[in-house]
Structure 1
Amino acid sequence: MSIESASMYEAGPSAPLTRSDSDFLTAYTDVGTEDLTQEAVDAADAEIAANRSAAAMDVKEKSFDTQEVAAALRMAPANVRRAVREGALFSVKISPAGHHLFPKWQFPYGRALPGLNAVISALPRSYHPLKIEEFMTKESEALRGMSPVTWLAEGGNVDDVVTLADEMAWE
Structure 2
Amino acid sequence: MTAEPDTTINVNSQDLQALGNAGINKADIEKMLHALATDLRSGNEAAVHDQANGLTAAEIEILREGGAYGLDDTFPGALARSRRLAVMRLQLEFKQLQRDSLYASAVAELLGISAARVRQLTNPGNPGLYSFKGARSKAWFPRWQFVESSVIPHLRLVLQTLSPQAHPVTVQQFMTQVNNDLWSSELEENLSPRDWLIAGYPAEPVLSLIRDI
TM interval, shorter chain, is: 0.5 to 0.7
TM-score, normalised with respect to structure 1: 0.67
Give, in angstroms, the shift of residue 122 of structure 1. 2.9
Tell whether 2:153 aligns with 1:114: yes
* Unaligned runs of at least 5 residues, structure 1: 1-9
**Bigger mean CA deviation after superposition, 98-107 or 133-142:** 133-142
Q: CA RMSD in A?
A: 3.4
Aligned length: 147
The residue type paired with residue 154 of structure 1 is: A
**Structure 2 match to 1:22:** 50
Q: Which has more radius of gyration? A: 2
Aligned-partner Cα distance in 2 for 1:122–1:111: 20
Aligned-partner Cα distance in 2 for 1:23–1:93: 32
The residue type paired with residue 127 of structure 2 is: G
**Bigger mean CA deviation after superposition, 48-57 or 145-154:** 48-57
Residue pair 1:73, 1:111 contacting (<8 A) in 2 also: yes
**Structure 2 match to 1:7:** none
Give, in angstroms, the shift of residue 31 of structure 1. 3.6
Q: 1:16 to 1:104 in 2, by over 3 A?
A: same
**Structure 2 match to 1:61:** 99
Q: 1:142 to 1:30 in 2, by over 3 A?
A: same
| Alignment deviations for residues 117-160 of structure 1 (CA, whole Å, 9 cap, x no partner) | 32234344443212211211123343412222122223321222
| Alignment deviations for residues 81-136 of structure 1 (CA, whole Å, 9 cap, x no partner) | 101113110001124x4211100011012211232232234344443212211211
Give, in angstroms, the shift of residue 61 of structure 1. 1.9
TM-score, normalised with respect to structure 2: 0.55
Greater relative contact order (CA < 8 Å, ≥ 6 in sequence): 1
**Bigger mean CA deviation after superposition, 125-134 or 46-55:** 46-55
**Structure 1 match to 2:204:** 159
Among 192, 195, 205, the alignment partner of 1:150 is 195
Q: 1:160 to 1:65 in 2, by over 3 A?
A: same
Residue pair 2:132, 2:139 contacting (<8 A) in 1 also: yes
Residue pair 2:90, 2:169 contacting (<8 A) in 1 also: no
SS of the aligned residue for 2:191 comes to coil
**Structure 1 match to 2:130:** 90
> Within 5 A, what are the aligned runs for 1:99-138?
99-138=138-177
SS of the aligned residue for 1:156 comes to coil
Percent identity, aligned pairs only, is 21
